[in-house]
Amino acid sequence: MQLDPEVLSELRRRLAASRLVPDDGGGWERGTPRAWLAGLLADWQRFDTAAFQARLDRLAHFRAVVDGQAIHLVHERGRGPAPLPLPLTHGWPGSFCEYLDILPLLTDPGAHGGDPDDAFTVVVPSLPGFGFSGPPPAGGLTGDAVARLWHRLMSDGLGCPRYVAHGSDLGAGITARLARAHPGAVAGIHLATPGLVAPPRPWSLAEEAHFAQVDAWTGEEGGYAHVHSTKPATLGAALHDSPAGLGAWIGEKITAWSSTTPDGQPAFPGTCCWRR
């Protein structure tokens, strides 16, 4: 899959011409700080797209059309006596690139100190509307609908009658639905950051405390999800048109949800612009 040079050129132009809101003197409590965003946009302009393209070129990319939906996927075959098929489903904000570092560990464990018997043949599809996949149909797609697409892709497209699956965030919900809908095909699942529905009452004291924390978090941090689910077209117009807006919207969530170092900073590589 090739990054479009004209799109990259337009992106660089838009980044250089970004109009940032005045600094209101507040911190992260009011959203993305101006100084942080300015640093992020400067990093973005320095991003080595050629090196990233070279990394993408080392992967086996495919494009499938399932029930009229165009789906991009990476399909890396396992190196072992009987590699187990494994679809990995990303979430928001994310893409198939979430799994680039782990791919060689899963497909070739023998080369990384593991047992070749544990090898997987890994399939990493891009959710509709993400990455190199086509846009979803008008009205969007439910998790159940995407799970149906994934099963068709694995069984009819790739010829895998039996497989295991992993998902994170939105992908966790899709993966859980995949297992419930196709128990004869899905041998097991692994979920990261799944959303758990509250069980029927009565609740234990621990459950009461947990769901009180959930309610508090939703009130303070869940506004993004409410907007996504109620007025996606309004927000989408801004995010599609403005790289600065996209960087502020996604960057704030990634930073807020990241693990932290002992001094309270996000625990992933970056320059000073990532500091909270």
Burial tier of 135 (Cβ tally within 10 Å: 0-12, 13-18, 19+): exposed
Contact between 37 and 248 under an 8 Å Cβ cutoff? The reply is yes
Query: Which pLDDT band holds residue 55 (cuts at 50, 70, 90)?
Result: very high
Integer Cα distance of 217 and 106 in angstroms: 34
pLDDT confidence of residue 19: 95
pLDDT confidence of residue 265: 64
pLDDT confidence of residue 30: 86
Q: What residues pair up with 76 in beta bridges, in sequence order?
A: 122
Domains of the chain listed by start with CATH number? 5-203 (3.40.50.1820)
What one-letter code names the amino acid at 241? D
Q: What residues pair up with 83 in beta bridges, in sequence order?
A: none
Q: Mean pLDDT in the chain?
A: 93
pLDDT confidence of residue 79: 98
What one-letter code names the amino acid at 146? V
| pTM, 2 dp | 0.92
Q: What residues pair up with 144 in beta bridges, in sequence order?
A: none
How large is the average pLDDT for residues 179-198?
92
* pLDDT above 90 coverage of the chain, percent: 82
Contact between 104 and 133 under an 8 Å Cβ cutoff? The reply is no
Dihedral of alpha carbons 134, 139, 143, 148, sign:
negative
Q: What is the DSSP letter of 92?
A: S
The better pLDDT of the pair 225, 273 is held by: 225
pLDDT confidence of residue 273: 43
How many Cα atoms within 13 Å fall on the side-chain side of residue 129? 15
C-alpha to C-alpha distances, 8 to 3, 59, 109, 191, 246, nearest whole angstrom: 7, 21, 36, 34, 15
Integer Cα distance of 229 and 218 in angstroms: 14
Tokens of 167: 């998902």
Query: Which pLDDT band holds residue 208 (cuts at 50, 70, 90)?
Result: very high
Integer Cα distance of 267 and 276 in angstroms: 11
pLDDT confidence of residue 101: 96
Contact between 154 and 88 under an 8 Å Cβ cutoff? The reply is no
Tokens of 50: 């050629």
Pairing of strands 69-76, 61-66: antiparallel
Question: Reduced to 3 states, what is the DSSP secondary structure of residue 61?
Answer: strand
Residue with tokens 């693990």: 259
Query: Which pLDDT band holds residue 272 (cuts at 50, 70, 90)?
Result: very low
How large is the average pLDDT for residues 206-234?
93
pLDDT digits (tens, 9 = 90+) for 89-108: 999 999 999 999 999 999 99
Contact between 93 and 250 under an 8 Å Cβ cutoff? The reply is yes
Element of type H or E holding 90? none
